[in-house]
Structure 1
């Protein structure tokens, strides 16, 4: 699968150049989206029977990192849109055929948060709502979104029950004015609006079934990839692209600072304080990469052997993933702080990596509180309950 990243490396200059345009357009350029489509990035976790590659999650992570280092928004879309085919493998085969039957390169947007309500009717549901942060949505023809099940009057059930549901582009509209942000502008993570769309039952799946790690059983899947823990694979593309952004910031600094001389007349190459700080930042970014990939490899090996990845291990894995994101972004701050005033110029790609890194850190998957709490409790022999089990 390294050939995917190799093929994109051949057009890396175009992807980097289009990053600035995407920042203005507030979506990926058509050319960048085509490069991703042609390379097969979004098919990496897709079932082979629908033209997918069923790649090892490590290869998927390394690819998202490599693209993120070229351009943050392009890496982010690769990581987020790229994980959706993994979950699609659990949907009714009829739904999979609808999405991929005519074109295996069809992209699916998200988000999973249950921002809308699905009201039961004969044969399915009527869906209404508004969803924010649909990354890459301008280049997607379907959406996989979260929905709370409602009663006959459209009120959310209590206790809540959630679905992940599929809709074609004709059943929702994109609010083109809803994405005007400081970072990851090129992701085009806009709002989606659904009004009274009919949702057939076969285009739905229990959110709890997916997040509990049991969807593969009901779907009749026994491939290692689809038995892999949801709580590791879902954050993987997001955090991997963020680490790639940090690597891109480091690369950008090195490229633009080689001949720089500070106002005091000291060449950067001869400034021991800057060199020490840069060395430390580079080591932190490398540690973040290694930590993420180590977790993936261990979980894969266990899954392949049919061993259970326990709640405690999953919680520690999420702690590792979240900490890696924060560590990488702190390193970007150290880099940016030593780049001089020139880094503030909008023509300098370093400022965009810096903005994109902070925007990426704000994703809900990187919030450390409950994850760190739950991981520590498990190690103390206490079983976390309620919200602390979320996304683990």
Structure 2
């Protein structure tokens, strides 16, 4: 099952849901719309509808609400597939799935509010603490601004993290879930890559959030879930965090490889360019294996400190490796690959932008925990 602690071909007990086959069709659709999405900085309604219809939003939703309770491996492969056509579409699809998993920590009444009408409810999440909340009768009054909330343009609900001041000790961090209409969106996303993710700023001004639409951030971090016994709802955030963001990048790098190869095929062969493409392909395959290993850890419920730290290391190393691969492909393609209408330059920009995410940085996401595994605690 494992070699030196790494997971190899770990079995997945969760049956397939059909998401992967639907993702193949979505990838083709997203690829056709990718250039326009990049230019307009938004996904088309057709692609947004297809993300919902494919089953990404319901992938981790409980079966009692019509969800599919899918596996991490199937979701990862599906997101990679979509990313081969359009990185921004894959990013939004991934977050639609994982945001529902985050929201599963709500009390049962909160589950009813989100999914009682449909398992395909789309939730957008502001993971970083950025606002404040004060107790009110039956809940809290929330105020704040949360940047980089991907997919907020078409989300049905938004979940944000805010600090609740206590009488003693440090503030408690909680997540608060608000329906569309209870917040405003300030269009602030102007990144050179991942333009169509619509990762704008959510603004909340003194909005009441009832108790059943809130939960303690510590529950998500530890994986404790008093509201659900679905296995995927009881996973420590450390183990899963990077997987949310790296799977779309694997798909984008695979798409970049195909775009680069297409630009070289038929031309007079250049040995240097050929070797460069081969080197890039090895990096992409290596990153894919590490990312799939992370999914196997989650489906196999291997939540030891070593496995969780390795998952962080795998995601950040994969990000670094995929950035290198993208740079190699651009170099191999030459000037033509940087043409405004060439898919390669879009994938290159998307990979560069996506791997700047804090969850994919060595210093913030991997160094401390995995160095402790390898070297022991400091001091």
Same fold (TM over 0.5): yes
Query: Which residue in the other structure is 1:326 paired with?
Result: 320
1:86-111 Cα offsets, whole Å, 9 max, x none, are: 12222111111111112221100011
1:162 equivalent to 2:173? Answer yes
Distance 1:250 1:357 in 2: 12
Q: Secondary structure at the match of 1:41?
A: coil
Q: Which runs of 5+ in 1 are unaligned?
A: 261-266, 385-392
Query: Which residue in the other structure is 1:228 paired with?
Result: 235
1:187 equivalent to 2:187? Answer no
Q: Which moved more, 1:54-63 or 1:142-151?
A: 142-151
Query: Which residue in the other structure is 1:360 paired with?
Result: 354
Displacement of 1:220 after TM fit? 4.6
Displacement of 1:76 after TM fit? 0.7
1:163-198 Cα offsets, whole Å, 9 max, x none, are: 11100111101113x122201000000011001100
Distance 1:229 1:251 in 2: 35
Query: Which residue in the other structure is 1:382 paired with?
Result: 377
Q: Alignment partner for residue 45 of structure 2, among 14, 23, 30?
A: 30
Query: Which residue in the other structure is 1:128 paired with?
Result: 143
Q: Alignment partner for residue 313 of structure 1, among 307, 318, 334?
A: 307
Query: Which residue in the other structure is 1:80 paired with?
Result: 95
Displacement of 1:299 after TM fit? 4.0
Distance 1:365 1:22 in 2: 25
Give the conservation status (yes or no) of the 8 Å contact 2:126–2:159.
Answer: yes
Distance 2:186 2:257 in 1: 35
Query: Which residue in the other structure is 1:239 paired with?
Result: 246
Distance 2:245 2:371 in 1: 24
Query: Given the superposition, is the C-alpha separation of residues 48 and 383 from structure 1 closer, same or farther in structure 2, using an over 3 Å criterion?
Result: farther
Tell me the number of residue pairs that the alignment of Structure 1 and Structure 2 aligns: 363
Displacement of 1:248 after TM fit? 0.9
Q: Alignment partner for residue 347 of structure 1, among 341, 344, 347?
A: 341
Give the conservation status (yes or no) of the 8 Å contact 1:312–1:379.
Answer: no
Displacement of 1:2 after TM fit? 6.9
Query: Which residue in the other structure is 1:289 paired with?
Result: 288
Query: Which residue in the other structure is 2:278 paired with?
Result: 279
Distance 2:206 2:193 in 1: 33
Distance 1:175 1:127 in 2: 17
Distance 2:71 2:23 in 1: 19
Backbone CA RMSD of aligned residues:
1.9
Displacement of 1:311 after TM fit? 1.9
Displacement of 1:211 after TM fit? 0.3
Distance 1:207 1:317 in 2: 21
1:271-328 Cα offsets, whole Å, 9 max, x none, are: 2221111111101100101011123213432x2xxxx622232112211111011111
Displacement of 1:11 after TM fit? 5.0
Give the conservation status (yes or no) of the 8 Å contact 1:120–1:151.
Answer: no
Give the conservation status (yes or no) of the 8 Å contact 2:330–2:338.
Answer: no
Q: Secondary structure at the match of 1:120?
A: strand
Q: Secondary structure at the match of 1:111?
A: strand
Query: Which residue in the other structure is 1:110 paired with?
Result: 125
Displacement of 1:238 after TM fit? 0.9
Query: Which residue in the other structure is 2:297 paired with?
Result: 298
Distance 1:81 1:8 in 2: 14
Give the TM-score of the pair, scaled to structure 2.
Answer: 0.91
Displacement of 1:129 after TM fit? 0.6
Distance 2:338 2:246 in 1: 25
Q: Secondary structure at the match of 2:161?
A: strand
Distance 2:169 2:261 in 1: 54
